[in-house]
Chains A and B, each alone.
Chain A
């Protein structure tokens, strides 16, 4: 069975400060992990994905995430927040062996203060 938990429903940072959005997962097999971003009234856009290659994954817009198997975590980070980063972020887990059971986290809304 798989599950994904986004530990914070809301995160607020000041512009120019680091961003940390936390995600823990559980999976009975080797998972693929994704982060998506959703701006208001828009669809979800893929930020980055982990597929059992390098554990540190770089994505678009300066975001990156590190897969830590021992901690079952896949936290999303960015060194310096920009106003345009204000959005909702979803952590997603899928089985790496095929199949269609994709689990979406509940989402973390990121607020960026000027």
Chain B
């Protein structure tokens, strides 16, 4: 069964800490995405990557960075965590080609609380 695996289900961090959220996919997908999900705001795209070492800003990149050193791994980095980054973070991957032929595969999510 194909999978997107997020390393942590629940995480509690202190304000100002550097936080790493890891995501690994085993489908050899070129495209990977990081979303955050908040009540009333739906899913918002933070960053995505369409190839190794390539990255593009999404709709809300401020306060975040990403790293894609290997095709299967896409990391989200909170340089200095703040309380307004408390959220559910979802990683997704998608194959290449016509978007219509591929849905996203999502990880189970990481619920991050910054105190």
B50 proximity list for chain A (CB < 8 A): 100
Interface residue? A94 (CB, 8 A): yes
A34 proximity list for chain B (CB < 8 A): 103-104
Q: Given the known A-B contacts A100-B48, A104-B42, are A45 and B106 also in contact in the complex, defined by CB atoms under 8 Å?
A: yes
Q: Mark A14-52, 1 if CB is under 8 A from B, else 0.
A: 000000000000000001101010000111111001011
Q: Mark B8-40, 1 if CB is under 8 A from A, else 0.
A: 010000000000000000000001000000001
A98 touches B99 (CB 8 A): yes
Complex-state Cα separation, A107 to B97, whole angstroms:
27
Contact among B48, B56, B99, B104 for A44, CB-based, below 8 A: B104
Q: Given the known A-B contacts A100-B48, A104-B43, are A43 and B90 also in contact in the complex, defined by CB atoms under 8 Å?
A: yes
Nearest residue, chain B, Cβ from A47:
B103
Q: Given the known A-B contacts A34-B103, A94-B100, A100-B56, are A44 and B31 also in contact in the complex, defined by CB atoms under 8 Å?
A: no
Q: List 5 A-B contacts (CB under 8 A).
A: A31-B100, A34-B103, A42-B109, A90-B43, A97-B99
11 additional contacts (CB under 8 A) given A34-B103, A99-B99 = A31-B100, A36-B103, A42-B109, A43-B108, A49-B103, A90-B42, A95-B99, A97-B99, A98-B98, A104-B43, A105-B42
Give me the interface of B with A, judged by CB distance under 8 Å. 4, 6, 9, 31, 40, 42-43, 45, 48, 50, 56, 90, 92, 97-101, 103-109, 111
Give me the interface of A with B, judged by CB distance under 8 Å. 31-32, 34, 36, 41-46, 49, 51-52, 90, 94-100, 102, 104-107
- Give the 9 A-B residue pairs with the shortest CB-CB distance, closest first: A32-B100, A43-B106, A51-B100, A96-B100, A46-B103, A44-B106, A104-B43, A43-B108, A94-B99
